[in-house]
Structure 1
């Protein structure tokens, strides 16, 4: 372990070097024990072990980091997993640097995430935490989706309310059986965050009763009608009214930059639209 990169609810992320493989890696380490009993602390550690086994099952999903190893620190009992180190910037930082995000770049981020989530949904998993902090944009424009720690199989439910406020749909907080439309809601929230700097139900208290309207205080940005209509369908409170990830990608295709098209002067750095302009989907 070389240095700490980030902290989350389930653990701390470190930059490290795997001396056996001779490569740089990311290490997710269980948060240090405080006042928990040994039994409780062991149960928390099972979450990291569960994440490792899930990542093993979805190794062939392009866009999710590859998992390498898991284990336990003998002295502290802290569980850990070792995974591919993704070199890039979080979407959270990237959005801050480019607010409001140009339409082409925002649509390219959502398009790439649709490709990743489509594969995940085909394997019957729901990510459950698609947020700017869990999305990385690499220097070449490729988008990666991190942290499958609270993912569940399609049709299952969380034992307790979880997910990120503003990005988690109401059914995720009601203990309902979860479908891939959970991730579509989060994508819609991310789209509005990029384009307008607003989350659709900001200020509305959970749990929703199903009658709330998005942007109760008004939308402060001008968004082209076709994209606005699509975004509102993504954040519908009724899961069945949201499009599937593969349908969503089909709606977005006319808005994505064409192959070998010119880079606009307002392109972001990194530029997720380069993924489509340069045909990186083929590699």
Structure 2
């Protein structure tokens, strides 16, 4: 599918090109007619409607990723994403416009990024046409070194503008990281975390492709975890991209450039179907997601990500044989990816097969000791077996490795649970209240606090907030039994 055939970019056809000779210019102008898009751009929308909410932002971010998936699969990148270059049709569909700055990724371009003709003050920079829209363009684009991940930075800055109603240039920043969340307090924390990842000044810390972003929006287990790790050593010091660090980020990004270089048609089409599957998963169309992911695997049986996400879809559809098969295939294709093993372990936990989950979690932790998720789940398994000391140990290790509020809420709950088993109600209450502070919609800490110091509010929260964990059902049962005894 060419870009001119794609419904969310302006249609352009070969016969729409024409020549024009103006009396004021000696050169003949080569022109084209393009489709007129009905609707307004998002800059106008923002002026008319004010800040966008989380639901709108998730929808728009998903739509734009679907568009960029097609652009990037054609070995192109846009280089000028901003609200005024995004049209919204009357039916709510977005159209990305202004492809005048689009650039093709080629072996020549990759070579230029690190070639000997570098005239920039930054090592690894090169003279590629600079396109910069202040407030939206990433640091590397200042020197004409844009790459597909540069589109993600501009996309994230665009989302911040839409979320806050404030132009990025008018928001406070520290080393190119905007302080914006206090201007958009109603935005979901997970969405805010994703937007900040898109805007990371280091290209290699951004999502590596559109499939990763769509997966975050669809909420399966993340195939590429958000940045919960310790940041690179050079980021622990205050620095300016104009002087240090950028060359390092670009150099590593170039290694990823291979992802965008020409590949066999089956591999490219397989990636397209992977993206389509994740787009369907984003709107909870499990049947369409399964169909697209199955086709991605048919075209490329070694598409590890397609196996991973198909396993998740199968599990959501309660087809556990299918889920086990594809998680195991993903592990076979990449045994050193901790997330493959963690996802399979999580499925075993869901089915109560904890003895099979534990070795996978330990293996995942060995592969990446800085990932908090395996440690957190090991903590829970220890607590289910009333091993409070081991549960406390794992939870304390996990807490040091995450900044995400929802993840902290789960870990603080485990710490409170461990303290409760150790018969230290004061410490347990402190941890459990920390859990609630991090995520007020999490039922587990309310249930445990109801065991320590029951109140009507805690009991109601424990019973009413959604959870599928077996221990929560057990805690709820004790509350209900107590209520029934008093009737």
Q: Into which bin does the TM-score normalised by the smaller protein fall? A: 0.5 to 0.7
Structure 2 vs 1, CA of residues 249 and 218 (structure 1 numbering), >3 Å: closer, same or farther?
A: closer
8 A contact 1:193–1:199 mirrored in 2: yes
| Greater helix fraction, Structure 1 or Structure 2 | 2
The yes-or-no answer on 1:239 pairing with 2:203 is yes
Q: Structure 2 matches for 1:8-19, cutoff 5 A? A: none
The yes-or-no answer on 1:143 pairing with 2:108 is no
Which among 140, 165, 170 is matched to residue 197 of structure 1? 165
The higher radius of gyration belongs to: 2
The yes-or-no answer on 1:187 pairing with 2:155 is yes
SS of the aligned residue for 1:233 comes to helix
Q: Structure 2 matches for 1:131-280, cutoff 5 A? A: 131-154=82-105, 156=109, 159-176=128-145, 178-200=146-168, 202=170, 211-215=175-179, 219-222=182-185, 223-243=187-207, 244-254=209-219
Please name the residue that 1:64 is paired with.
9
Please name the residue that 1:44 is paired with.
none
Distance apart, 1:212 and its partner CA? 3.7
SS of the aligned residue for 1:71 comes to strand
8 A contact 1:201–1:213 mirrored in 2: no
Q: 2 CA distance for matches of 1:88 and 1:116?
A: 18
8 A contact 1:182–1:239 mirrored in 2: yes
Please name the residue that 1:38 is paired with.
none
Distance apart, 1:182 and its partner CA? 0.8
Distance apart, 1:245 and its partner CA? 1.7
Please name the residue that 1:82 is paired with.
33
Q: 2 CA distance for matches of 1:132 and 1:185?
A: 13
Normalised by the size of structure 2, how large is the TM-score?
0.37
Distance apart, 1:220 and its partner CA? 2.2
Distance apart, 1:198 and its partner CA? 3.1
Q: Which runs of 5+ in 1 are unaligned?
A: 1-55, 260-283
Q: 1 CA distance for matches of 2:8 and 2:196?
A: 26
8 A contact 2:54–2:188 mirrored in 1: no
Distance apart, 1:79 and its partner CA? 3.9
Distance apart, 1:120 and its partner CA? 0.7
Q: 1 CA distance for matches of 2:93 and 2:30?
A: 30
Distance apart, 1:60 and its partner CA? 3.6
Question: Which of structures 1 and 2 has the larger relative contact order (alpha carbons within 8 angstroms, sep 6+)?
Answer: 1
Distance apart, 1:188 and its partner CA? 0.4
| Greater strand fraction, Structure 1 or Structure 2 | 1
Structure 2 vs 1, CA of residues 224 and 89 (structure 1 numbering), >3 Å: closer, same or farther?
A: same
Q: Which runs of 5+ in 2 are unaligned?
A: 114-126, 220-280, 286-487
SS of the aligned residue for 2:212 comes to helix
Q: How many residues align?
A: 198
Please name the residue that 1:11 is paired with.
none
Q: 2 CA distance for matches of 1:114 and 1:257?
A: 14
Distance apart, 1:242 and its partner CA? 0.8
SS of the aligned residue for 1:83 comes to coil
CA RMSD of aligned residues (A): 2.8
8 A contact 1:200–1:235 mirrored in 2: no
Distance apart, 1:235 and its partner CA? 0.2
